[in-house]
Amino acid sequence: MDLLYRSTRSRGGAVSASQAILKGLADDGGLYVPESIPVLDQSLEALSQMTYQETAYEVMKLFFTDFTQEELKDCINKAYDSKFDTEVIAPLVEADGTYYLELFHGATIAFKDMALSILPHLLITSAKKNHVKNEIVILTATSGDTGKAALAGFAEVKGTRIIVFYPKNGVSPIQEKQMITQKGENTFVVGITGNFDDAQTGVKQLFGDKELAEIMDGAGFQFSSANSINIGRLVPQVVYYVYAYAQLFKEGKVEKGEKINVVVPTGNFGNILAAYFAKNMGVPIAKLICASNENKVLYDFFETGVYDRNREFVLTSSPSMDILISSNLERLIYLTAGADAEKNAAFMGALSEAGKYEITDDMRAQMKDFYGNYASEQETADMIRTLYEKTGYVIDPHTAVAAAVYGKYKKETGDNTKVVLASTASPFKFTRSVMNAIDEKYDAMGDFALVDELSKLANVKVPNAIEEIRTAPVLHDTVCDKSEMRSVVMQFLGI
């Protein structure tokens, strides 16, 4: 039986996996959700003997049912290859009693590589399956990591172009350099004078612009998304939670069926939603610990049942989490509202108009496995320094937010269940924040001198992703106001 996908905002017809991947966002502005979350059909013993690529196939085949075995394996093998600097793809490292799931061994040294390495191949395969003649234009807003990972994934992929919008002063210097030095005739990077939410809202408006869609279709183009709103991004993220648990079992760190907790630094809610999917597939996960930085809209939501984005936007040392509208939360709202699209659409309408909504007590009860908390900038820096001094292990600020929140959870609950913490970026991506946290004396050093110092300190080779941007020329210098995004897109496409 094929697994079909429905929009979170209407009772319209269901679509296949390949159609959902192609469209990215449903016509009504909703997100695609599978009609049911499939259950793993392989035993834990079998999964524990599999490579990352084999695990990926076992998970993805259950979601992407209109792909043939050959098509799916081809996509997986092209994605998880020598672009990753470790054969295991997602290693687990134990430090101070926590299992850090290192998701940053791909081409751009952030967890977004885990899904964005495969998305271009899923998209091109989906286009062929659906006899698409138009060139696919990937339109993406980024808070720092998605942009570069998407650019790296789609650069020079035939039949595609990619346009990335990022907040001009809202990403780290390394993140910006990674994007604006991106090669590829089909790539375009634009800084906007605004924050990530402005960029994300602007992109959603372009997706919903019917007049623009007609103009583009006439010129042989159509939009698709590489943001985590695309189901082709979310499903590959489920894989590493299945893989992590199987590896713990293989190494004798957990007994069969023993539950673990999962801690995720959270901005757009995609990465923790993937853990929720893994739990529903049968992975023995107890608590899903949602870690926020000072933009603590999700912490407040789990505390009160009220989602309220009417607050000051804070720029932090963990910029990928500087988000007030967590797009993927909509999928959880839809599922806990009993897959009631009208109910969900009303919540999203309230968010759009008033900037807030409140869920029912019944929905809150269904979210009891989620725990939310946040870490201040000081707590984040303290966590980086403390863990380094204790163990020699160096983590980035996003991972440190999660580690600090996990400390609060343990203190509050006394729960000593084994824990997997999603380590979402290499410390080399945020060298200044990391080195300042360890010792303020480093602040006088230049960005790349800091990189070399961190390499010595952590006894880790400088990643290739950093080496290649040391002297790379700036290839993208467009900056626009959020109101100009439409005209900038048309200009780039020559229409």
The token duo for 365 is 């009860």
* H-type alpha helices, 358-467: 361-366, 377-391, 397-413, 431-438, 447-458, 464-467
Q: Which of these is catalytic: 23, 112, 279, 296?
A: 112
CA 469 to chain CA centroid, nearest Å: 23
Instruction: Specify the amino acid at residue 374.
Output: Y
Cα separation, 357 vs 200, in Å, equals 19
Which residues are registered as beta bridge partners of 162? 138, 187
Q: d(Cα 263, Cα 269) in Å, to the nearest integer?
A: 12
- Close Cβ partners of 79 (under 8 Å, ≥ 6 residues apart): 117, 118, 121, 236
Structure tokens at 15: 């679509």
**93, 100 in Cβ contact below 8 A?**
yes
Burial class of 487 by CB neighbour count within 10 A (0 to 12, 13 to 18, 19+): exposed
Q: Which residues contact 412 (CB under 8 A, 6 or more apart)?
A: none
Query: Which of 327, 293, 118 shows the shortest CA–CA distance to 207?
Result: 327
Q: CB pairs under 8 A, 24+ apart, for 64-67?
A: 64/17, 64/18, 64/21, 64/122, 64/235, 65/1, 65/2, 65/3, 65/16, 65/17, 66/2, 66/16, 66/17, 66/18, 66/129, 67/17, 67/18, 67/125, 67/129
* Triad 46, 79, 202: Cα angle to 5°: 120
For the CA atoms of the chain, what is the radius of gyration? 21
Give yes or no: 112 in active site.
Answer: yes
DSSP string computed for 3-40 = --EEESS-----B-HHHHHHHSS-TTS--EEESSPPPP
Task: Provide the pairing of β-strand 187-193 with 160-167.
Answer: parallel
Give me the residues paired with residue 425 across strands. 110
Residue pair 268/256 in contact (Cβ under 8 Å)? The answer is: no
Q: What share of the chain is helix, strand, coil (3-state, %, to 5)?
A: 50, 15, 35
- Judge contact between 77 and 88, C-beta under 8 A: no
Look at residues 134, 18, 137 and name the one whose alpha carbon lies nearest to residue 68. 18
Using alpha carbons, select from 132, 134, 150 the residue that is nearest to residue 229.
Answer: 150
Which residue numbers are catalytic? 112
